[in-house]
Amino acid sequence: MFSDSNCRVVSNSFTQDLANVGNFWNDKITAVKVISGTWQVFGDTNFNGSNVKLPPGEYPNLAISPGVINNDSISSLKIVG
């Protein structure tokens, strides 16, 4: 997870489900790089709200689907495949 577009600046690795990404990362994730598995990211804590599944790849800007997940809107995430 990155706090800037194009997978730059502050980053962190997540390897397990997180019902709450924590105060530092909540609503601050702009870019994602999925190395393995498929991750589902959610707009609210506890795996609620708008969500999208991300297979392996780089997502330099999370404006993936307008109205679904936008930049700086991820609050929880889990491995789904």
**Distance set, CA 7 to CA 1, 10, 34, 69, 80 (Å):** 8, 9, 11, 17, 22
- The number of domains in the chain is 1
Q: Write the pLDDT tens digit of every residue in 9-57.
A: 556 678 889 899 887 777 777 778 888 999 999 989 999 988 889 899 8
CA-to-CA distance for 5 and 17, rounded, in angstroms? Answer: 23
H or E stretch at 34 = strand 32-34
Cβ–Cβ < 8 Å for 14, 2: no
Cβ–Cβ < 8 Å for 1, 25: yes
Please report, for the domain that includes residue 39, its CATH number: 2.60.20.10
Report whether pLDDT(2) > 80.
no
**Residue 26 domain boundaries:** 2-79
